[in-house]
Amino acid sequence: MKRPPGTGHPPWRRRLVSAFAVLALAAGALAALGPAPASAAAWSPKPSPMTTPWTNQVPVDNPLPEYPRPQLTRPDWANLNGIWDFAVTGRDAAQPATFTEQIRVPFVAESALSGIQRKITQNDKLWYKRTFTVPSTWNGRRVELNFGASDWQTTVWINGHQAGAAHKGGYDAFGYDITSLLTGGSNTVVVSVYDPTQTGGQAVGKQRINDVAPHPGGGIFYTAASGIWQTVWLEPVAAAHITRVDMTPNLANNTLRVTVRGDGISGQSARVTVSTGGTTVGTATGPVGTEFSVAVPNAHRWSPDDPFLYDVRADLISGGATVDSVGSYTGMRSIALAKVDNIMRPVLNGKFVFQSGTLDQGFWPDGIYTAPTDAALRSDLQAHKDLGFNMVRKHIKVEPQRWFYWADRLGLLVWQDMPAMDTGKSPDSAARTQWETEFHAVIDQHRSSPALIQWVDQNEGWGQYDQARIADDVKAYDPSRLVDNMSGVNCCGAVDGGNGDVVDNHNYVGPGNTAPSPTRAAVLGEYGGLGFKVAGHEWYPGGGFSYEDQPSLAALDNRFTGLLDAIRLNQLPAGLSASVYTEITDVENEVNGLLTYDRQVMKVDAARVKAANQALINASLNPPPPVVLPVGQYKSLRVTTPGFTNRYLRHTNALAYTEVVDGNSSAVLKSDATWKIVTGLANSACYSFESRNFPGEFLRHQNFRVRRDPDDGSALFKADATFCAVQGNGGVRFSAANYPGSYIRHINAEVWLATPGGGHTWDNPATFTEDTTWSVDPPWAP
């Protein structure tokens, strides 16, 4: 990943490796699996439309070798990723007699890394086949076949016999006990997957059936991802074994609430031990399937600045003997809503910290839904950290469990969207049941991640229904996290359920105004979308689009940091608690990314963006006092730009200018340069400026020009004539109430509404801050 020539490489380009040996591949187990298909030696990937730093690092026979389930680890396992025989038939066809192609699992058939790279439609069924041999060291234990995820309806056969019921769902893990279907030697697994994508009514997120080759169009929807897309593995377990460890920190009494769940349970108990650095911190024993608490004295809090993790071990005890053990980890943190200075805010560990993040969609030009390597999976999260963000919104996709592991380890707050159903449709009862069932499964799978603090139920009204009921259901199912009933309630026909913990607006470019309510915090679920096309790093050259194209990288830096500064100076004091910038990377023809789609170019100045993010977050921890102006008094507004400090804002012929005013000036000029400060016409927390010599007429902006006009009583006029006071260096800055982050500015004696990083002549960055800072002086015409 790089800036364009001459700007150097950020430190996070280095190859990244797993931190814990317990999560590494057990190579000895793999050796016993048996050979890959005979034709695997002839297999090769297809050319990727764009090459990431990891595209050519993917092993043929052993891709993604890391242990896939970091919060429930066992030492013995066998990875089935690699080359499988493959075929595509009609959707209703039986298993084909021959498999004429090979695919590299777990990359989807549409991807270059799979070696298939072609469009899959609702009329197709995918077939996978390979052989394996169970290691002899597993004798006497049950054998489970696990899938991290497969999209969408997956059926499994072992040695010709179906293993349990078909699984429906594209984002939750599932598995089968295949012990009774195994033979003593070579075993054959066959998997079929049917994926109708947007034609089927299920959760699909941003996937759409399109040509896999780069092409124009596509908008905000991208190439579909059909079939197996996460790790497939075998694992031996005891007859009675642990299936899940649910953990919820309780900072009020320094305990970890745990529920150990299991299968084959008959009177066994569970013991949970929390440790750090090999030293036991606390241990407790309780019944399987029932919550109990483990003491964690003087618990070290987890936070983005200090993502401290404790090691956890859960043992299944029968008659004093340990019959099963799993490894895990936890972070001790809390998330809740609370009034802070009479504003409803999300509080982390009891304190309000502004959450600044990006929209992370999780698509890749080489693997589509699957990152090429674990280092690649980590890299986007590391980029957030290097840019100073403390939060990431995973947008209508659910990543593999190792993604959450890296968020937990690196320290990033996570908003997790439930992938939406198709847009513009009202889902039928079967689709609703399936969607809610899958949502519960996703919650169960990730409920112990300390990074995950908020569930986002629905987005912009896509497939929306029962908004309030679903929000209540999610809150009841996981009361330890915040719930967003609808991201983008102000957009696209979305209906706000009126409940949940946040009110969430989308504003492009923004940042706009999102107000908290007495019961909900205000968050900006999407904003930004600033675009720049980097030559040589476009998915379809010339086909890219954004919400606001920038003419240069310098302009992009100025505009983006201007938005962050606007949030810090305007929205944060007004009650905003979080913001999500669109987006961390380009995605296909969307060029809104801070990184290019191939992750090769960092478009922005990372140090500058990090400083702006840190200033925003720090302002929430140590808020400056509000700027208070003397309502009801007459004042004059003096320029503070060096060399022009004898000039004042005045009106003439209804337009605003600056002019030198002194004791010898005419009475008319002195009156023109005097304004009565009144409570904001559109916002009582802000201000309006009434003309001294034209009572009832106010300073307002119109088509960016600042002018004096009579109040016509309209909501638009009141908004245009309202300005919020922001502390400046040696004076006050006035931000438009309806265009936060745009300020009253003098330039060439004229007065305009100017935007940092904007593209107009009056947005010129030279002396921008000085030109937008005014001294509130005694009036020339009292």
Model pLDDT for residues 29-39, shown as the tens digit of each residue = 443 565 555 45
Average pLDDT score over the chain:
94
* pLDDT for residue 14 is more than 70: no
Neighbouring-strand partners of residue 583: none
- Six-digit token pair at 684? 């009582």
* pLDDT for residue 161 is more than 80: yes
Rg of the chain on CA atoms, in Å: 29
Q: Distance (Å, rounded) from C-alpha 520 to C-alpha 673?
A: 42
pLDDT at 360: 98
At 204 the three-state DSSP class reads coil
Q: Is the peptide bond before 756 cis (omega within 30 degrees of 0)?
A: no
Domains in the chain, start-ordered, CATH in brackets?
28-48+57-237 (2.60.120.260), 241-330 (2.60.40.10), 351-621 (3.20.20.80), 634-777 (2.80.10.50)
Q: How far lies 352's CA from each of 334, 337, 408, in Å?
A: 12, 9, 20
* pLDDT for residue 233 is more than 90: yes
* pLDDT for residue 157 is more than 80: yes
* pLDDT for residue 118 is more than 70: yes
* pLDDT for residue 762 is more than 90: yes
- Return all residues near 464 (Cβ < 8 A) that are at least 6 apart: 458, 486, 494, 495
Torsional class of 58: left (φ above 0), alpha (ψ -120 to 50), beta (otherwise): beta
- Six-digit token pair at 129? 């086949």
Q: How far lies 318's CA from each of 25, 241, 325, in Å?
A: 29, 11, 12
* pLDDT for residue 396 is more than 70: yes
* pLDDT for residue 15 is more than 70: no
Residue with tokens 């992938």: 419
Contact 697, 712 (CB under 8 A): no
What does residue 48 show for φ and ψ, rounded to 5 degrees? Answer: -80, 140
Averaged pLDDT for residues 212-222:
95
pLDDT at 42: 87
Tens of pLDDT, residues 489-524: 999 999 999 999 999 999 999 999 999 999 999 999
Contact 144, 161 (CB under 8 A): no
At 224 the three-state DSSP class reads coil
- pLDDT band, residue 21 (cuts 50/70/90): very low
- Six-digit token pair at 722? 């309202």
pLDDT at 31: 38
Lowest mean pLDDT among 1-10, 211-220, 265-274, 278-287: 1-10
Torsional class of 21: left (φ above 0), alpha (ψ -120 to 50), beta (otherwise): alpha
pLDDT at 715: 96
- Six-digit token pair at 31? 């050796």
Q: Is 11 exposed, middle or buried (0-12, 13-18, 19+ CB in 10 A)?
A: exposed
What does residue 414 show for φ and ψ, rounded to 5 degrees? Answer: -120, 125
> By C-alpha distance, which of 58, 608, 123, 39 is closest to 375?
58
**Among residues of the chain, what percentage have pLDDT more than 70?**
95
pLDDT at 626: 87
pLDDT at 439: 98
Tens of pLDDT, residues 292-304: 999 999 999 999 9
Q: How far lies 610's CA from each of 192, 233, 615, 730, in Å?
A: 46, 39, 9, 25
Contact 105, 119 (CB under 8 A): no
Tens of pLDDT, residues 63-117: 999 999 999 999 999 999 999 999 999 999 999 999 999 999 999 999 999 999 9
Q: Distance (Å, rounded) from C-alpha 152 to C-alpha 233?
A: 18
pLDDT at 38: 47
Q: Tally Cβ neighbours within 10 Å of residue 683.
A: 19
At 774 the three-state DSSP class reads strand
Averaged pLDDT for residues 585-600:
98
- DSSP letter at 761? G
- pLDDT band, residue 624 (cuts 50/70/90): confident
Averaged pLDDT for residues 617-638:
95
What does residue 261 show for φ and ψ, rounded to 5 degrees? Answer: -110, 150
> pTM score > 0.85 for this model?
yes
pLDDT at 19: 35
